[in-house]
Structure 1
């Protein structure tokens, strides 16, 4: 049975304490997933829904909930696709021709980790070749490229130990000799290739961590990472190293397929999130478009972003009753007229009245126009949520849009990993564990984590009391 994990951007205050949930589904068809999402929303009592973030399969469709009464913008932006999944497809496409080198390195790691005796014996060779490293070998999950990166990144540090073991250890040598060529030991060329594209993959690994972060806002940083990756892929596709050039060209094909067209992907909201970052605004979006698109394309894309933001503003303005900026102008006009009656200097009174009207014209502007016209913030250490909280009075409507746009998660990896423990517990060398033993391992791990968490809380409270 599969599980569906979704990150929901909820606009209902009652949903703040709803928590995460999982629903068993029989398959990954769009209709089944839509029913599961609807079931969760009904169970939580949620009506106001802006977006749902889940993977990018074309069959995934949430139209079942598009006719809800409390939907926002008629669910035009309902489906936000998991960008970490797309990045996974892009990187795996680039690695597809390097499977031989990766498989050979994976084989030696599997051999060492297959038993405690082999692991102990391998450590002796690490000491023998005098490797100064504290890292430990880790086996990857082949369906997740970032775990492949971590495995390779650790394994290359022990290249000398593997080579020495291949020369001195008869059993280790015989293991690869008896395979009749099916299992090959990594050659010096394999290690060289792994080292070359590890430097390339590290950029994508760091991007994956940023997409799946849970400790800070991700929606306003997505396009910075996106265009940075585009530049890197284009540059590597033109470099002298044929290995990196081949990888980059294959990646570029996948990149253009998933991220090349705004109409295919629901990325306009994520562009709006960039505009709602006061350090960048619409100026940054136009700057990026200018560097990547021709005149016609960048004008078209800029208009789409502006129209989307304007539509959101009009929708939110209708839903907000009695904003503070709507009554300021009338009050100040009345004050200026009264003060003019008791002014001895006629010219001075008229000048004051003129200034009052000018100020009123500024205050009566839509706060979206004021926000876009104001200078961008130049702050080194910046907390975007704190900034919008402090700017609520100046931009009452836009701040509500920002509150919801910045809550959009760009990835479901963080929630999905909570349930995807099977590949990390069971692999070919552990597949013989009995169900009772496997259950004991999982439950013990969870208990130890909770126990450690409770211990840390007790230490924190003790320190807090002392400080207090």
Structure 2
């Protein structure tokens, strides 16, 4: 290590980070004072390692220069059980922290039953205080990306058994270096372009799309490999491959629309 390199303790590093955080938070507080209305998006997810649930609150607003801004406002622990009341209370913590309880314009959440009840509680609360535009008719904006996600996942269920075969195949090959080398030999012998096997995340349909996309391109390799490895039993039948192709043609369309929607959201948030 260079003698010119200054070493910092983790305590100093933490202190420096918190100073920057407090400085930026104060700047955002001041900026939000001049904002009339803010649209919010909440996301609830659970940490696999900690097994703790969190709520992420993001605010979208138009600044004094008429530029659309997006800021992560809060990252809060969501106590179990995830009742509508708990969701509302946690969301209010964020509003109160930033002084935005009277500046709510719209709210977008996932299409979960608890969220539906939370929206009703919030709408009733804001309506009594007469803080919503148009009597709250435009308060709740459903998450288009989540709706799209539910539609595609429902379609994938029709070939769930075949998708499991693909997952099991990839797990089987990845479990042994010898199998991967044998599979690579098959690819080389067939003079096919090398493609990395992709394992999907069952909760993310776009990753399942990527997995099936690669699997369809490796169809011939799987056939040849099954002839060389007698312990491999997860190879899809011709009918199952046909079903994958049919569903995949629809998923392609959804994937294109998802990219457009995601790109639009990204541009709006980064404007």
TM range (shorter): 0.5 to 0.7
Partner of 1:28: 82
The answer for unaligned runs of 5 or more in structure 2 is: 1-51
Partner of 2:209: 149
- Alpha-carbon distance, 1:175 to partner: 4.3
1:57 aligns with 2:112: yes
Structure 2 CA distance, aligned partners of 1:151 and 1:17?
A: 32
* 1:8–1:51 CA contact under 8 A, matched in 2: no
The structure carrying a bigger strand percent of its residues is 2
The answer for unaligned runs of 5 or more in structure 1 is: 177-183, 219-384, 386-468
1:19 aligns with 2:80: no
- Alpha-carbon distance, 1:18 to partner: 4.8
1:210 aligns with 2:260: yes
Deviations 1:61-99 (A, max 9, x none): 233352567544443322212122212222222222211
1:200 aligned to which of 235, 246, 250: 250
Partner of 2:220: 160
- Alpha-carbon distance, 1:136 to partner: 1.6
* 2:226–2:232 CA contact under 8 A, matched in 1: no
Structure 2 CA distance, aligned partners of 1:71 and 1:56?
A: 21
- The aligned length equals 207
Structure 2 CA distance, aligned partners of 1:69 and 1:120?
A: 67
Q: State the secondary structure of the residue aligned to 2:105.
A: strand
Q: State the secondary structure of the residue aligned to 1:174.
A: coil
1:101 aligns with 2:145: no
The 3 A distance-change label for structure 1 pair 119 and 11 is same
- Alpha-carbon distance, 1:16 to partner: 5.2
Q: State the secondary structure of the residue aligned to 2:231.
A: helix
Partner of 2:56: 5
1:122 aligned to which of 164, 170, 183: 183
The structure carrying a bigger helix percent of its residues is 1
Deviations 1:88-119 (A, max 9, x none): 22222222221122222222122122344433
Structure 2 CA distance, aligned partners of 1:48 and 1:18?
A: 15
- Alpha-carbon distance, 1:21 to partner: 2.8
Structure 2 CA distance, aligned partners of 1:16 and 1:51?
A: 15
Q: Which entry has the higher C-alpha Rg, 1 or 2?
A: 1
- Alpha-carbon distance, 1:131 to partner: 0.8
TM-score (norm. length: structure 2): 0.66
1:88 aligned to which of 130, 141, 149: 149
Q: State the secondary structure of the residue aligned to 1:19.
A: strand
The 3 A distance-change label for structure 1 pair 38 and 151 is same
Partner of 1:391: none
Q: State the secondary structure of the residue aligned to 1:59.
A: helix
Partner of 1:388: none
The 3 A distance-change label for structure 1 pair 195 and 71 is same
* 1:56–1:86 CA contact under 8 A, matched in 2: yes
Structure 1 CA distance, aligned partners of 2:56 and 2:212?
A: 29
Structure 1 CA distance, aligned partners of 2:111 and 2:94?
A: 20
* 2:108–2:140 CA contact under 8 A, matched in 1: yes
Partner of 1:185: 235
Aligned-pair RMSD on alpha carbons?
Answer: 2.8
* Greater relative contact order structure (CA < 8 Å, 6+ sep): 1
Deviations 1:15-51 (A, max 9, x none): 9585343212124322222222111122223241111
TM-score (norm. length: structure 1): 0.40
Deviations 1:119-153 (A, max 9, x none): 333222211221125x3211111122222111100
The 3 A distance-change label for structure 1 pair 18 and 103 is closer
1:137 aligned to which of 185, 191, 197: 197
1:174 aligns with 2:231: yes
The 3 A distance-change label for structure 1 pair 149 and 138 is same
Structure 2 CA distance, aligned partners of 1:119 and 1:18?
A: 45
